[in-house]
Structure 1
Amino acid sequence: MFEKLEIVRMAQSMARHAGLRTEVAAQNVANADTPGYRARDLPDFESYASGMTGLRTTRAGHLRGAEATAAEPVPVETKGAASPNGNTVSLEEEMVRAVAARQQHEMALSIYQSSSRLIRTSLGRSS
C-alpha cells in the first residue's frame, strides 16, 4: 500500500541509484591498474529521476512514458586524462563519487524514515 506513495517510490529509487553508483565506483577502483580500462559513472540522480514522472504518453513526441521509468541507469564512460597505459581511473575522483553516493543513500533513508513517521502519526501511532 505505502509503495504507491510517490515520496516512498522516489526514496527507493534514490537509494537504488546510490547503490548502483557505489557499485560502479567500486568497479572503477578495482580496475585502477588494468591497462586500457575506461572509468565509468552513472548520470546524476536528477537526470535519472526526470524520467520517473509516471506520466503516460499519448504521442511519440511527449515526455518519457512508463516504459522508460522502469529502466535502470546505464553507466557511461567519464572524460579524463589517460595514464600511459590507457587507464582513465582517478582514485581521487572515485573517492568523491563514493562519498556523494553515500550521502545520497543517507538522504534517501532520511526521506523514507520521515515519511514513515508521518504515516504512523497520521494513523495515530506514536512509535
Structure 2
Amino acid sequence: MFQNLDVFRTAMAMARHAGEQQALSAQNIANADTPGYRAKDLPAFEDTLRGSLIGQKATRDKHLNGSTERSVQVLERQEEMDPNGNTVSLELEMVNAVDAKREHDRALAIYRNSLSVIRASLGRT
C-alpha cells in the first residue's frame, strides 16, 4: 500500500530545486558588480520535473543507462546587459529569491500534509 509514495519524492525535489535557485540568486547578487558576469538561472521546477520523468532513472550506482544525479542545466541570462557586460538585475534577483522561498515553503507544506494523511489513515494522529 505505501511502497510507492511519489508525493514525498516530488516534495523533496521541489525543496531541492528551491534551494538551488536560492543559491544561484545569492551568487548572482554577490557578482552584481563583476564586469562581464552573466547571471545564472534555473528552468522552472515544472520543466525539470517533466524532463526527469521522460528519461531513464537509475535506482542504484551500477544500474545501466541511467543516472543517479540530477542533471538540471543552469541557464545564463543574456538580456539587458549593463555597459560593463554584466546581466545581473538586483530587482529580478529579489523576486527570484522570494519565489524560491515560496516554493520551498510549498514543498514543506506538501510533505507535512502528506504525513498527516498517512498518520490519519493508520490511526496515529
State the TM-score, normalized to the length of structure 2. Answer: 0.86
Show the counterpart of 2:44.
44
Aligned residues: 116
In the TM superposition, what whole-angstrom CA distance separates every residue of 1:22-56 from its partner, at most 9, and x where no partner exists? Answer: 00010000000001000010010000000333xxx
What RMSD over aligned residues (CA atoms) do the two structures have, in Å?
Answer: 1.7
Structure 1 residues 69 and 107: CA distance shift in structure 2, 3 A:
farther
User: Aligned residues: percent identity?
Assistant: 50
Show the counterpart of 1:106.
105
Structure 2: segments with no counterpart, 5+ residues: 58-65
Structure 1 residues 10 and 72: CA distance shift in structure 2, 3 A:
same
* CA distance, structure 1, for counterparts of residue 19 and residue 69 of structure 2: 16
List, as ranges, runs of 4+ consecutive aligned residues in structure 1 with deviation greater than 6 Å: none
Show the counterpart of 2:60.
none
Show the counterpart of 1:25.
25
In the TM superposition, what are the counterparts of 1:52-91 in structure 2 within 5 Å? Answer: 52-53=52-53, 63-66=54-57, 67=66, 70-91=69-90
In the TM superposition, what whole-angstrom CA distance separates every residue of 1:46-94 from its partner, at most 9, and x where no partner exists? Answer: 00000333xxxxxxxxx41113674242211013211111111000000
Show the counterpart of 2:115.
116
